[in-house]
Amino acid sequence: MPGPQRFALPDVGEGLTEAEIVSWKVQVGDVVAVNDVLVEIETAKSLVELPSPYAGTVEQLLAAEGETVEVGAAIVVVGDGSVTPAPAAAREAAAEEGSGATLVGYGTREATARRRRRGPAAATEPAAATEPAADLTPLEVAVPELSPPPQAGGEETEAQAPDARAAEPAGAVHVLAKPPVRKLARDLGVDLAAARASGPGGTVTRADVLALVPAAPTEPQRRVEEHPRERHVPIRGVRKATAAAMVESAFSAPHVTVFTTVDVTRTMRMVQMLKQDREFEGVRVSPLLLVAKALIVAVQRNPDINSTWDEHNQVIVVKNYVNLGIAVATPRGLLVPNVKDADEMTMKELAVALGTLTATARDGRATPKDLSEGTITITNVGTFGIETGTPILNPGEAAILAVGRIAERPWVHKGKVKKRQTVTLGLSIDHRMLDGESGSRALADIAAVLEDPVRALAWT
Amino acid sequence: MTDGAVSPTTSGAPTMVQLLDADGVRHEHPEHHADLEPDELLGLLRDLVLLRRFDSEAEALQRTGELGLWVGTRGQEASQIGAARAVRDQDHLFPTYRDHGATLTREVDPLHILSIYRGIDHGGWDPVAHGVHPYTLVIAAQLLPAVGYAMGVQRDGAMGTGDPARDTAVLAYLGDGATSQGEASEALGWAAVYNAPVVFFCQNNQWAISEPVERQARVPLHRRAEGHGMPGVMVDGNDVLAVLSVVRSALDRARAGGGPTFVEAWTYRMGAHTTSDDPTRYRDAVEVEQWREKDPVERLRTYLRAEGVLDDDFEEQLAAESEALAERIRAGVRGMTDPDPVGMFDHAYAEPHAQVEEERDAFLAAWAQHEQDLEQSPAGGGR
Question: How many CA atoms lie within 13 Å of A313's alpha carbon, on the beta-carbon side?
Answer: 6
Which residues of A are annotated as catalytic? 431
The model's pLDDT over B219-251, given as tens digits with 9 standing for 90+, comes to 999 999 999 999 999 999 999 999 999 999 999
Query: How far are the Cα atoms of A33, A53, B76, B275 from residue A36, in angstroms, in the given order?
Result: 6, 8, 24, 18
**Which residues 6+ apart lie within 8 Å of A419 measured at CB?**
A408, A409, A410, A411
- Do A253 and A309 touch, CB atoms closer than 8 A? yes
CA torsion, points A336, A340, A343, A349, in degrees to nearest 10?
-100
Q: B232 vs chain A: nearest CA distance in angstroms?
A: 27
- Given a cut of 90, is residue B190 above it in pLDDT? yes
Backbone angles phi, psi at B175, to 5 degrees: -110, 180
Interface test with A, best of B53, B64, B282, B291 (most A CBs within 10 A): B64
Q: Quote the pLDDT of residue A161.
A: 39
> What sign for the dihedral angle of Cα A245, A250, A256, A260?
positive
Q: Report A:20-39 residues touching B (Cβ under 8 A).
A: 34-35
Confidence of residue B374 (pLDDT cuts 50, 70, 90): confident
- Do B237 and B204 touch, CB atoms closer than 8 A? yes
Chain A residue whose CA is closest to B290: A432
**Which residues 6+ apart lie within 8 Å of B122 measured at CB?**
B116, B134
Model-level pTM? 0.56
- Do B54 and B71 touch, CB atoms closer than 8 A? no
Closest listed residue to residue A337, CA positions, set A392, A383, A294, A394: A394
Q: Sort out which chain A residues have CB atoms less than 8 A from B280's CB and list them.
A: 46-47
Cβ of residue B278 closer than 8 Å to a chain A Cβ: yes
Average pLDDT, chain B: 92
CB contact under 8 A, B275 and A436: no
Q: Sort out which chain A residues have CB atoms less than 8 A from B281's CB and list them.
A: 46
Closest CB from A10, A436, A439 relative to B63: A10
Burial class from Cβ neighbours inside 10 Å (0-12, 13-18, 19+) for residue B30 reads: exposed
Q: A89 vs chain B: nearest CA distance in angstroms?
A: 23
- Left if phi > 0, otherwise alpha if psi is -120 to 50, otherwise beta: which for A414? left
**Which residues 6+ apart lie within 8 Å of A214 measured at CB?**
none
Q: Quote the pLDDT of residue B335.
A: 95
Q: Quote the pLDDT of residue A2.
A: 63
Lowest mean pLDDT among A37-46, A286-295, B160-169, B271-280: A37-46
Q: A335 vs chain B: nearest CA distance in angstroms?
A: 27
pLDDT, greater one: A213 or A155: A213
**Which residues 6+ apart lie within 8 Å of B287 measured at CB?**
none
The 8-class DSSP code of residue B293 comes to T
Q: Where are the domains of chain A?
A: 5-225, 237-459
Helix (H, G, I), strand (E, B) or coil at B262: strand
- Do A118 and A173 touch, CB atoms closer than 8 A? yes
- Do A194 and A166 touch, CB atoms closer than 8 A? no
Q: What is the distance in angstroms between the CA of the first residue and the CA of the last residue of chain B?
A: 63
Q: Quote the pLDDT of residue A179.
A: 72
- Given a cut of 50, is residue B110 above it in pLDDT? yes
Q: How many CB atoms lie within 10 A of CB B335?
A: 8
- Left if phi > 0, otherwise alpha if psi is -120 to 50, otherwise beta: which for B296? alpha
Q: Quote the pLDDT of residue B94.
A: 97
Q: Quote the pLDDT of residue B170.
A: 98
Lowest mean pLDDT among A152-161, A250-259, A438-447: A152-161
Q: Sort out which chain A residues have CB atoms less than 8 A from B282's CB and list them.
A: none
Backbone angles phi, psi at B361, to 5 degrees: -60, -45
Q: Report A:430-449 residues touching B (Cβ under 8 A).
A: 435-437, 439
> Residue range A199-219: average pLDDT?
72
Q: Sort out which chain A residues have CB atoms less than 8 A from B286's CB and list them.
A: 251-252, 254
DSSP string, B157-168: T-SSSS-TTT--
Q: Sort out which chain A residues have CB atoms less than 8 A from B68's CB and list them.
A: 11, 14
Q: How many CB atoms lie within 10 A of CB A81?
A: 15
Largest CA distance in chain A: 96
Task: Determine how β-strand A407-413 pairs with β-strand A376-379.
Answer: unpaired
Confidence of residue A219 (pLDDT cuts 50, 70, 90): very low
**Which residues 6+ apart lie within 8 Å of B149 measured at CB?**
B92, B94, B170, B198
Instruction: Tell me the range of A157-166, A219-228, B73-82 where mean pLDDT is highest.
Output: B73-82
* E strand or H helix that includes residue A252: helix A237-252
What's the CA gap between A383 and A403, in Å, rounded?
9
The model's pLDDT over A81-115, given as tens digits with 9 standing for 90+, comes to 665 544 333 333 333 333 332 223 233 333 333 44
> Residue range B44-71: average pLDDT?
96
Average pLDDT, chain A: 78
Helix and strand tally (H, E) in chain A? Answer: 12, 18
Chain B residue whose CA is closest to A440: B1
Q: Sort out which chain A residues have CB atoms less than 8 A from B63's CB and list them.
A: 10, 12, 48-51
The model's pLDDT over A327-349, given as tens digits with 9 standing for 90+, comes to 988 877 788 999 999 999 999 99
Q: Quote the pLDDT of residue A83.
A: 55
CB contact under 8 A, A35 and B286: no
What's the CA gap between B39 and B48, in Å, rounded?
14
Q: Give me the interface pTM, i.e. the ipTM.
A: 0.78
> Residue range A6-20: average pLDDT?
87
**Which residues 6+ apart lie within 8 Å of A378 measured at CB?**
A288, A291, A292, A295, A324, A325, A326, A327, A400, A401, A403
Confidence of residue A187 (pLDDT cuts 50, 70, 90): confident
- Do B83 and B242 touch, CB atoms closer than 8 A? no
Closest listed residue to residue A367, CA positions, set A402, A340, A395, A401: A340
What's the CA gap between A343 and B4, in Å, rounded?
34
Q: Sort out which chain A residues have CB atoms less than 8 A from B293's CB and list them.
A: none
Closest CB from B2, B65, B69 relative to A8: B65
| Residues in chain B, overall count | 383
Q: Report B:42-81 residues touching A (Cβ under 8 A).
A: 56-57, 60, 62-66, 68-69
Q: Quote the pLDDT of residue B77.
A: 98
Q: A50 vs chain B: nearest CA distance in angstroms?
A: 5
Q: What is the distance in angstroms between the CA of the first residue and the CA of the last residue of chain A?
A: 77
CB contact under 8 A, B3 and A35: no
Lowest mean pLDDT among A50-64, A177-191, A340-354: A177-191
CB contact under 8 A, B66 and A12: no
Q: Quote the pLDDT of residue A203.
A: 82
What's the CA gap between B257 and B169, in Å, rounded?
9
> Residue range B185-209: average pLDDT?
97
What's the CA gap between B326 and A369, in Å, rounded?
56
Q: Sort out which chain B residues have CB atoms less than 8 A from A45's CB and list them.
A: 276-278
Confidence of residue B355 (pLDDT cuts 50, 70, 90): very high
Closest CB from B57, B275, B330 relative to A12: B275
CB contact under 8 A, A48 and B63: yes
Q: Sort out which chain B residues have CB atoms less than 8 A from A46's CB and list them.
A: 272, 276-278, 280-281
Q: Quote the pLDDT of residue A225.
A: 59
Task: Determine how β-strand A376-379 pairs with β-strand A399-403.
Answer: parallel
Closest CB from A34, A46, A439 relative to B277: A46
Chain A residue whose CA is closest to B119: A14
- Given a cut of 70, is residue B109 above it in pLDDT? yes
Residue type, A364: G
- Do A436 and A406 touch, CB atoms closer than 8 A? no
Cβ of residue B26 closer than 8 Å to a chain A Cβ: no
Which residues of B are annotated as catalytic? 269, 273, 282
- Given a cut of 70, is residue A125 above it in pLDDT? no
Cβ of residue A17 closer than 8 Å to a chain B Cβ: no
Q: Quote the pLDDT of residue A155.
A: 40
- Beta partners for residue A23, in sequence order: A40
Cβ of residue A48 closer than 8 Å to a chain B Cβ: yes
Confidence of residue A135 (pLDDT cuts 50, 70, 90): very low
Chain A residue whose CA is closest to B62: A12
What's the CA gap between B232 and B218, in Å, rounded?
15
Q: B288 vs chain A: nearest CA distance in angstroms?
A: 12
Q: What is the CATH number of domain A237-459?
A: 3.30.559.10
CB contact under 8 A, A436 and B1: yes
% of chain A at pLDDT higher than 90: 43
Chain A residue whose CA is closest to B279: A46
Closest CB from B56, B65, B280 relative to A11: B65
